[in-house]
Amino acid sequence: MHTRGDFRGHLSIVLVPFLAAALLGHSATAHAQPAGTGTLAISVAPLPKTFQGGFTFTTGPLAGVGSMTFLGTLDNASAQTSSVEFDLDATAPLLGFDAGGVAVCDNPVCGAGTGTFVGRISNITGSVLAPGPDYRLDGTVALTGNALLLTGSGTFGINAFEAIPTTSGEFSTVGTGVRTFYNSLIRAPDQFEVDVAFMDVPADCSTQVIGLSQVAGFPSALERLGAFVNVTTDCTFSTALICVHYDDEDTTGIDESTFILVHRAAGTFADITTMRDLANKRVCGTVSGFSPFAIGVIPTGATTTSTTSTTSTSSSTTSTMNETSSSTTTLSSTTTSATLLQLIGAKKIVVKVDAQKPTKSTFTFLAKSAVETPGGVNAPTTAGATLAVQDAGGQQATFALPASGWTATGAKGYKYKDKKGLAGPCRGVTFKTGKQIKVTCKGPGITLAPPLTDPVEVVLHMGSQTYCAAFGGNITKNETGSFAGKAAAAPAQCGAGTAAAAARADVGESSAQ
């Protein structure tokens, strides 16, 4: 496995698909930074499964602590993922703490070689670490020796991550801003950015997003782009999509169609890619829970049984990566739903906004295309739906289409009715299987302000199913208060200002991380 450069990109987690556009710069933020970094020395006795050593702080707010000694134990080694669980107790006159997590090794038996210790800090004593943040140990050492004794040295950081207050409500958005943490694997500060949108949060809660230098089990045949990111929350919510952004600085000369989003669940990384949003430089995928995520790069010559692109549909929602005895990486897939992203042609769009009389504002959209019917948990009668309209200049309007307004019309599809506009301005939506999508909206809530910047996208989300149309070259009107377009071909990609789909999400975290 190879890692490409520092990660200076972004991560977007869309827990409510129709708020995807709103996640771009419209959320509360919280900060992260290294509390202290320095060097460490360690000796490991593999047979009694113990280790000891010391931390020496050299930079950051903890530099005044000086040196700490630590004692620790190792347990539950996994040759399959080249990792071992650890616990340690570190002490100094000004500071004490426990740390527990996973040490990830670069060889199957966790012997001589590189080992990276990543874990949660708890039971803090002394006053040098301010209460409140989630503190994490991140250290990497180069070990030499034999089965009786290993010794080594390296660098470490104590990273501080603030939890993000998340307010209750039907739609709640939060964001990390740019977070910095010490990545001991690259021996330098690293960065990430995360946005989260929640649907149906019944009570105030909190969300945490942390950066990790290493996680056990990442397939060695894949290249990894940037750091790992882990998300946890105590919020109750319904659905989730995660989009990990990347930066052009780290992708020069790389085919972006080889990027996949992988998610660690039950000790195994799986390909969860549903869309590559090339316009906004991110890779998106549906999830059923939270634990570490990373962008993987499929190497030249690798074979896959399923893949997802921005220019075609995909029937794969989960792909488990198994490394074979050769250098080929096989991504075997399990199909669990219909096409997750369908790029469709559209017949017309008309936006009329009356700033003086918002009740007179209207939006209409008609697509005559072979749209596929969402079923099961994606049916709008179960999952509801949302409609997002956004332009390339950052304007957007998002309309809720709750499940209570939808009825099935047999094999023909679905209809949505809200004649009084109780849920929003959209009064009617007709979804005809294999034929068309028609939308009619009127009244306040149409928050666009023409003229608009093309392409103008219309994105309909039904559970984890997404339909996207874009109007660009065939614009018939674009002036103050009015925009109209017609005869739009299916776009090559979807991403003027939003990301794709969502899935039902539980809350979980790898206990080791």
Residues 374 and 253 in one domain: no
Whether 125 and 148 map to the same domain: the answer is yes
Any domain includes 511: no
Place of tokens 């900060």: 31
In order, the DSSP letters of 405-453 are GEEE-GGGEEEEE-TT-SSSSEEEEEEETTTEEEEEEESTT----SS-P
In this structure, the answer to whether residues 351 and 376 fall within a common structural domain is yes
Q: Are residues 335 and 362 in the same domain?
A: no
At residue 207, the pLDDT reads: 86
Q: Are residues 334 and 358 in the same domain?
A: no
Helices of type H across 297-409: 380-383
Last residue of a domain, one of 300, 324, 340: 340
Question: Does residue 1 register a pLDDT over 80?
Answer: no
Q: For residues 61 and 36, what is the distance between their CA atoms, to the nearest angstrom?
A: 6
Mean pLDDT of 308-324: 33
494 in Cβ contact with 275 (< 8 Å): yes
Q: Are 216 and 304 within one domain?
A: yes
- pLDDT-based confidence at 430, cuts 50/70/90? very high
Q: Which of 242, 266, 245 is nearest to 256 (CA)?
A: 245
Q: Which residues span the domain enclosing 305? A: 11-22+194-340
Q: 293, 313, 340: which is the final residue of a domain? A: 340
208 and 334 together in one domain: yes
- Identity of the residue numbered 108: P
* Residues linked to residue 442 through DSSP beta bridges, in sequence order: 362
**Residue 5 domain-assigned?**
no
Q: Which residue has the tokens 């450069």?
A: 5
pLDDT confidence bin for 265, thresholds 50/70/90: confident
Give the pLDDT confidence score for residue 199 in this predicted structure. Answer: 67
pLDDT band with cut points at 50, 70 and 90 for residue 315: very low
Q: Do 357 and 423 fall within a single domain?
A: yes
299 found inside a domain:
yes
Q: Does residue 332 register a pLDDT over 50?
A: no
Q: What are phi and psi of 389, to 5 degrees?
A: -125, 125
Neighbouring residues of 166: CB distance < 8 A, sequence distance ≥ 6: 172, 174, 196, 198, 201, 204, 205, 206, 207, 233, 235
> Which one has a higher pLDDT value, 337 or 186?
186
Residue 88 has pLDDT above 90, yes or no: yes
The number of distinct structural domains making up the chain is: 3
Q: Write down how long the chain is.
A: 513
Look at residue 242 in the predicted model and tell me its pLDDT.
73
Convert the pLDDT of each residue in 217-246 to its tens digit: 888 778 898 889 998 889 887 766 777 888
Other C-beta atoms closer than 10 Å to the C-beta of 35 total 22
Query: What are 181-224's pLDDT values in tens digits?
Result: 999 999 999 988 877 767 677 899 998 989 999 998 888 778 89
334/76 Cα distance (integer angstroms)? 30
Instruction: Identify whether the C-beta of residue 28 lies closer than 8 Å to the C-beta of residue 173.
Output: yes
Q: Are residues 212 and 328 in the same domain?
A: yes
The Cα–Cα gap between 184 and 407 comes to 54
Instruction: Work out the average pLDDT over 492-512.
Output: 38
Whether 332 and 356 share a structural domain: no
pLDDT above 70 (res 459): yes
The predicted model gives 278-293 an average pLDDT of: 75
Q: Are residues 334 and 359 in the same domain?
A: no
Q: Classify residue 210: in a domain, yes or no.
A: yes
Among 160, 182, 206, the domain boundary falls at 160
Q: Are 184 and 116 in contact (CB under 8 A)?
A: yes
| In a domain? residue 181 | no
Lowest mean pLDDT among 2-11, 65-74, 149-158, 231-240: 2-11
**pTM (two decimals):** 0.60
Q: Is residue 4 part of a domain?
A: no
Tell me the three state secondary structure of residue 155: strand
Asked if residue 178 has pLDDT above 90, the reply is no
What is the pLDDT of the chain when averaged over all its residues?
79
Q: Tell me the C-alpha distance between 277 and 283, whole Å.
A: 6
Note whether residue 96 is domain-resident.
yes
Share of the chain above pLDDT 90, in %: 40
247, 301: one domain: yes
Question: Residue 512 domain-assigned?
Answer: no
Beta-bridge partners for 261: 295
Which pLDDT value is given to residue 50? 92
CATH number at residue 130: 2.40.128
